[in-house]
Structure 1
Amino acid sequence: MNERENPPCKAPVAVIGAGPAGLAAAYELTRRGVPVIVFEQDGRIGGLAQTIEHKGFRFDIGGHRFFTKQKSVLDLWRSLLGDELLERLRLSHIIYRERLFDYPLKPLNTLRNLGLTSSLLILASYARGRLFPISPERSLADWVTNRFGRRLYRMFFKTYTEKVWGIPCSEIGARWAAQRIKGLSLRTAVFSMLFPVWRGEIRTLTDHFYYPRLGPGMMWDALRERIVAGGGEVRLLTRVTGVVHEGGRVRRIVVRSGEREESFDISHVISSMPLRQLFHALDPAPSSDIAVAAGRLRYRDFLTVALIIDATELFPDNWLYIHDETVRVGRIQNFGNWSAELVPDRTRSCLGMEYFCFEGDGLWTMADRDLVGLAAAELTALGIAPREKVVEGVVVRMPKAYPVYDEGFEETLTTLREYLERFGNLQQVGRNGMHRYNNMDHSMLTGLLAAANLTGKGSRDLWAVNDDDEYYEKDTMRGGDDASHAVEAQCPHGRDDPLTQHGHLRQAVGRSGGSRPQAAS
């Protein structure tokens, strides 16, 4: 968008998508008295961060931590939920070769699990990587190898990353690694173990976060209530099929809900729909070269199998990373350790078995019953809970969960951005709307700034959000006005110290320094 105008009062602003970015934009617009309609093709709000409820059990589509260094976003969270926003301690481990490794990796724990010989080989590999770095860094494999060494890359990055993205690490751009693992190397990991106060400067090492008492859905429900109270509309099960433009401006939005098609005259558009999908909706369509470029954008899809287990204290972590090549699951969430109130029956647990896939592949098309059976079998294979303890399971699929940073995507994105600059009343926000791996706070910030741009209260380049070395995650959990913003720290299930909980995995670590967890009985 290359001009900033106050929208005419008679035509609403169209917000496409009711995820974190779209809802934040709509909230800010209604707060400023601007009429707005939010169009969401799903039956729920929240996008990838929505909360699902099944027989009183609540679970995320992937766990979503709330953390930020942006005061405007933090203030918004606190104003919406107040005391319902719990402060949590992060606890996570990696399962690799039937052993538990601390995450973030800690040298002493890694040495104990791998043994002296393997650890020395890792150090030698690291030294070689520092002395003879790969240049230029083109891929994630290059980026990680230069900072951790090839041996550690193969152990703790390659298998899991390729499980998540479904493509070789050599085809994932170095930019993705620089964004998601900023500031971290073998040297900084050792330094953070010796001087833990410094850890707040490293993006992947944040150890505190906020979490709504009943899951992220509380946040989106609160935003929707504010939007509606301010005169806005939120339309679910409504898919945008046409973005009609003329003379460098979007004039109308065409939507479909079931068999019904409607057209809305609009003043501006704030879009969080997948960028490839936005280009497909443009009317008139762009030139063939632009259409081909949009078609090159790729997405990774995601499904979660929530298993209700007739057992408690299976492990104390919020989540586990599964680096085991013998199973297909990528992460396991223990939702009761995010908030005890997600699990209504304290004699049971709810685990989220997370699988990364492509829409239409074998995992995506597998019947729900078979997916539940696969998840239960892999839970047993990993030694976490026996099959007979699984009471039932629920499957949730999420298409286009993650924009893929494959080779050449940056050039493609530049081409598409340049084309969209011709529209004076169209802004892109959020992860899929910008095809950028934004965190939730980054996505919400783009929505807030888009609304400010539109109403003449600012002129911010939304593409600069999450593109600045000084922007990245920094500890603001303890900041602010203690009297008005303090949130009581609570560990999983209300215990004082999650590191001393007596969950099954923790017992296994205590007995053997990181051996394979035994199945709960």
Structure 2
Amino acid sequence: MVVPFRLRQTALVIGAGPAGLTAAYEMQKLGLKLRPLVVEASSMVGGISRTEAHQGNRFDIGGHRFFTKVPEVETMWDEVLGDDFITVPRMSRIYYRGRYFSYPLKLLDALSNIGVYESFRILASYLKWQVFPHKAEETFEQWVMNRFGGRLYMHFFRTYTQKVWGIPPSRIQADWAAQRIRNLSLSKAVWNAIAGANDTASLIEQFRYPRLGPGMMWERTRDLVVERGGEVRLGAEVVRMNLDGDRVDSADVRQWGDDGKPGDEERIYPQEVVSTMALRDLIEAFDPPPPPEVREAAARLRYRDFMIVTLHLDHPDPFPDNWIYIHSPEVKVGRIQNFRAWSPEMVASPDTSSIGMEYFVNEGDEMWSMPDDRLRDLAAAELEKLGLAKAGTVIGHAVIRQRKAYPVYDEHYREALDIIQGWLGGLSNFQTVGRNGLHRYNNQDHSMLSAMLAVRNIAGESHDVWNVNVERSYHEDFEVRKTA
């Protein structure tokens, strides 16, 4: 006899990415009297941190370094993977105006590439903006120019930022810059270049990485959750969350078949819910629906989608970098990965290579809708245009389209998020975590931390998961504090 979920102490976890699986793992680790049931709409665990495979090659969806200053996260990584981590030296460059710049900055390399005259212009522009800064710092553009000057902004921030987000940097809000690059300044970058120091989180010289890619971490976590009595359902989509006052009384879950056809819906009665759903979708799933102003706010949230065209080449690695940032507007590619530089076990043969061409797109636009063979030809042509490899050396390819990869920090998002956060805060057995669950461009470790804190809230503590990675940087000592 199947025991109805109504009679179980069930915690429903929506999404099997880093945040969702961390929540399930943490529930079991803390010994909560709850059985985690993780439902994931796709066929794989790991979310954007999964590892895909094609023709014996494994590839990462965007490049995921395992580096953190959060002890709880480091501990979980060690508990789950242990010796399956390798230490990877960081090597990355920026391609701009037909030249490759070392990144982090190396002084002589930068001077020789950009020229002494232009370097003086950058310095003069920096000094000008120090004396006459923008009085307001509402946008990414204003924030960067106040710290780096207008000329360096033009060279190394404007083009790449617009390529990533698809909107002018003057429309991106300053809190994105404050979150992602707040520890970096021109004086610190120059000092790093002269002294060989790296005292900012974004410029670390080495990091850990699972030998079979980041998906290995989340596949192992799934297995541990199941071994300890939890359940992880793939191809399972939460289509409705039924409210009873301030509680989620039940959730309707649809199981999709291997043939892509929808199956029956099952109603689950959870005691607690932890969600990683994108907020725009989440708000529409509640029944009865939230107030009109909350639904309108959710509809204003925007996302940037992502696509990787992985090219398999008939020769070993065409460049030694882990990744290269492509700032030049002459090509559409935004970043290029060399997967063997992450782990040798990511590539099928020592005589071939696997190169990830990353494109930042919007679902439904021309590139998103382009057939895979045309995307292969485009990526191969751009690889050759950049002088990295001949298009004719491509012997295989794979295309992955990732919806809602990046929450957009446009001029509407903060007001909309405040409205949504206020309404969700009134639910007594519901928490939202993770990158899209908080509409915050968190790294993997901060998404995990938000899930850990949500579970500790269930255990009786009081933490504000919305402020993870807002008030604390990587290089501040983080300590979980009880506030109740």
Structure-2 residue corresponding to 1:63? 63
Structure-1 residue corresponding to 2:180? 180
Asked if the contact 1:309/1:389 (under 8 Å) is kept, the reply is: yes
1:189 and 2:192 are equivalent in the alignment: no
1:168 and 2:168 are equivalent in the alignment: yes
1:259 and 2:263 are equivalent in the alignment: yes
1:473 and 2:474 are equivalent in the alignment: yes
Asked if the contact 1:48/1:398 (under 8 Å) is kept, the reply is: yes
Asked if the contact 1:106/1:189 (under 8 Å) is kept, the reply is: no
Q: Distance in 2 between matches of 1:411 and 1:196?
A: 42
Asked if the contact 2:104/2:193 (under 8 Å) is kept, the reply is: no
Asked if the contact 2:6/2:268 (under 8 Å) is kept, the reply is: no
> Cα distance, 1:230 vs. partner?
1.1
Q: 1:92-111, aligned counterparts within 5 Å?
A: 92-111=92-111
> Cα deviation per residue 1:327-351 (whole Å; 9 max; x = unaligned)?
1000000000000011120000000
> Cα distance, 1:475 vs. partner?
9.6
Instruction: Please provide the CA RMSD for this pair.
Output: 1.5
Q: 1:202-351, aligned counterparts within 5 Å?
A: 202-257=200-255, 258-351=262-355
Q: Which amino acid in 2 is paired with 1:153?
A: Y
Q: Distance in 2 between matches of 1:153 and 1:194?
A: 21
**Higher RCO by CA contacts (8 Å cutoff, separation 6 or greater):** 1
> Cα deviation per residue 1:415-452 (whole Å; 9 max; x = unaligned)?
11001111001111100000011110000111112112
Asked if the contact 1:9/1:35 (under 8 Å) is kept, the reply is: no
Q: 1:342-421, aligned counterparts within 5 Å?
A: 342-421=346-425
Structure-1 residue corresponding to 2:480? none
> Cα deviation per residue 1:278-304 (whole Å; 9 max; x = unaligned)?
101011111211111110000000010
> Cα distance, 1:8 vs. partner?
9.8
| SS in structure 2 of the partner of residue 453 of structure 1 | helix
> Cα distance, 1:111 vs. partner?
1.1
> Cα deviation per residue 1:316-367 (whole Å; 9 max; x = unaligned)?
1100000111110000000000000111200000000000000111111111
Q: Distance in 2 between matches of 1:64 and 1:281?
A: 30
Structure-2 residue corresponding to 1:498? none
Q: Distance in 1 between matches of 2:264 and 2:402?
A: 24
Q: Which amino acid in 2 is paired with 1:40?
A: E
| SS in structure 1 of the partner of residue 100 of structure 2 | strand
> Cα deviation per residue 1:226-268 (whole Å; 9 max; x = unaligned)?
1101111111111111111111011111121223212111111
Please list every run of 5 or more consecutive structure 2 residues that lacks an aligned counterpart in the other structure.
Answer: 256-261, 478-484
Structure-2 residue corresponding to 1:507? none
Q: Distance in 1 between matches of 2:317 and 2:433?
A: 40
| SS in structure 2 of the partner of residue 214 of structure 1 | coil
Q: Distance in 1 between matches of 2:446 and 2:7?
A: 29
Q: Distance in 1 between matches of 2:365 and 2:188?
A: 39
Q: Which amino acid in 2 is paired with 1:455?
A: A
Q: Which amino acid in 1 is paired with 2:54?
A: H
Match of 1:463 among 455, 461, 466: 466
Q: Distance in 1 between matches of 2:404 and 2:284?
A: 15
| SS in structure 2 of the partner of residue 190 of structure 1 | helix
> Cα distance, 1:106 vs. partner?
3.1
Q: Which runs of 4+ in 1 moved over 4 A?
A: none
Structure-2 residue corresponding to 1:515? none
> Cα deviation per residue 1:466-517 (whole Å; 9 max; x = unaligned)?
122xx312399xxxxxxxxxxxxxxxxxxxxxxxxxxxxxxxxxxxxxxxxx
**Identity rate of aligned residues, in percent?**
49
Asked if the contact 2:300/2:412 (under 8 Å) is kept, the reply is: no
Asked if the contact 1:11/1:265 (under 8 Å) is kept, the reply is: no
Q: Distance in 1 between matches of 2:135 and 2:441?
A: 24
Q: Distance in 2 between matches of 1:107 and 1:196?
A: 10
| SS in structure 1 of the partner of residue 67 of structure 2 | coil
> Cα deviation per residue 1:351-400 (whole Å; 9 max; x = unaligned)?
00000000111111111111111101100111111011000110001000
1:42 and 2:27 are equivalent in the alignment: no
Asked if the contact 2:129/2:146 (under 8 Å) is kept, the reply is: yes
Asked if the contact 1:182/1:203 (under 8 Å) is kept, the reply is: no
Asked if the contact 2:139/2:174 (under 8 Å) is kept, the reply is: yes
TM-score (norm 1): 0.87
Q: Distance in 1 between matches of 2:49 and 2:121?
A: 40
> Cα distance, 1:195 vs. partner?
3.5
Q: Distance in 1 between matches of 2:70 and 2:449?
A: 8
Q: Distance in 1 between matches of 2:84 and 2:235?
A: 29
> Cα distance, 1:206 vs. partner?
1.7
Q: Flag the 1:439–1:62 CA change in 2: closer, same or farther, 3 A.
A: same
Match of 2:8 among 7, 10, 22: 10
Q: Distance in 2 between matches of 1:97 and 1:475?
A: 36
| SS in structure 1 of the partner of residue 360 of structure 2 | strand
> Cα distance, 1:313 vs. partner?
3.0
Q: Distance in 2 between matches of 1:292 and 1:251?
A: 24
Asked if the contact 1:94/1:321 (under 8 Å) is kept, the reply is: yes
Please list every run of 5 or more consecutive structure 1 residues that lacks an aligned counterpart in the other structure.
Answer: 1-6, 477-521
Q: Distance in 2 between matches of 1:474 and 1:77?
A: 19
> Cα deviation per residue 1:24-65 (whole Å; 9 max; x = unaligned)?
001111332520111111111100010001121100111100
| SS in structure 2 of the partner of residue 400 of structure 1 | strand
